[in-house]
């Protein structure tokens, strides 16, 4: 079973890379959008199949990651519909889907990381956490300010909250990635 699983994984990764290359080469058309959304949706399907085949002792992290990716797909599809209708609302329901995906994926990754760590690695990781948060917060802050300036409009209210929330999730991802690498 292990050998065939590895072959399926390699085939999926190869097809995914090929499809991603095609997406990059296609002009900005409906076909490109459908292929892009299909690639993202295939990740959800792959997670479900992986859970079904491997039946991990703790499936919750993978279920959360799958639901988070599904929320990202819903956000992307919703945004594509807005684009097709030549609308550019901000904030929109697409932003709700995008932002709801972040905590789901973050919780799943956190559970995976915690499953790999012991007391010693937790202590070591806490030293790196401060550096990661500091650097990531600076990068995110700069990115948000640059985006507001490039877009040419300053947002207020819910739009600003959405931008800050997405920045906070980026900081969290950097923190979790650092912990995962140290575990």
Q: What is the mean pLDDT of the chain?
A: 76
> Residue 86: left if φ>0, alpha if ψ -120 to 50, beta else—which one?
left
- In tens, the pLDDT along 55-87 reads 988 899 999 999 999 999 999 899 889 988 988
The full 3-state SS of 53-106, as one line of letters, equals HHCCCCCHHHHHHHHHHHHHHHHHHHHHHHHHCCCCCCCCHHHHHHHHHHHHHH
CA distance linking residue 17 with residue 22, whole number of Å:
9
From the CB of residue 117, how many other CB atoms can be counted at a distance below 10 Å? 16
Q: Are the CB atoms for 136 and 175 separated by under 8 Å?
A: yes
Among the listed residues 111, 123, 130, 141, the one whose alpha carbon sits nearest the alpha carbon of residue 175: 130
- 72 CB-contact burial (10 Å; exposed 0-12 / middle 13-18 / buried 19+): buried
How confident is the model at residue 63, as a pLDDT?
A: 95
- 32 CB-contact burial (10 Å; exposed 0-12 / middle 13-18 / buried 19+): middle
- 181 CB-contact burial (10 Å; exposed 0-12 / middle 13-18 / buried 19+): exposed
Could you tell me the pLDDT band of residue 107, with boundaries at 50, 70 and 90?
Answer: confident
Among the listed residues 123, 113, 115, the one whose alpha carbon sits nearest the alpha carbon of residue 172: 113
In the predicted model, what is the mean pLDDT of residues 103-125?
71
Could you tell me the pLDDT band of residue 48, with boundaries at 50, 70 and 90?
Answer: very high
Whole-model pTM over 0.85:
no
pLDDT higher than 50, residue 91:
yes
pLDDT higher than 80, residue 181:
no
């Amino acid at each position: 079973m292990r050998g065939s699983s590895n072959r399926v994984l390699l085939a999926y990764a190869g097809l995914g890379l090929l499809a991603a290359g095609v997406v990059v080469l296609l002009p900005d058309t409906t076909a490109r959008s459908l292929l892009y959304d299909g690639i993202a949706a295939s990740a959800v399907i792959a997670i479900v199949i992986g859970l079904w085949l491997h039946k991990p002792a703790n499936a919750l992290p993978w279920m959360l990651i799958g639901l988070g990716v599904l929320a990202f797909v819903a956000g992307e599809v919703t945004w594509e519909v807005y684009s097709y209708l030549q609308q550019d609302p901000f904030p929109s329901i697409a932003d709700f889907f995008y932002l709801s995906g972040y905590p789901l994926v973050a919780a799943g990754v956190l559970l995976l990381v915690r499953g790999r760590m012991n007391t010693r690695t937790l202590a070591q990781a806490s030293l790196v956490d401060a550096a990661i948060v500091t650097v990531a917060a600076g990068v995110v802050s700069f990115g948000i300010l640059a985006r507001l300036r490039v877009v040419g409009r300053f947002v207020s209210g819910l739009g600003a909250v959405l931008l800050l929330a997405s920045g906070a999730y980026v900081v969290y991802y950097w923190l979790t990635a650092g912990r995962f690498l140290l575990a």
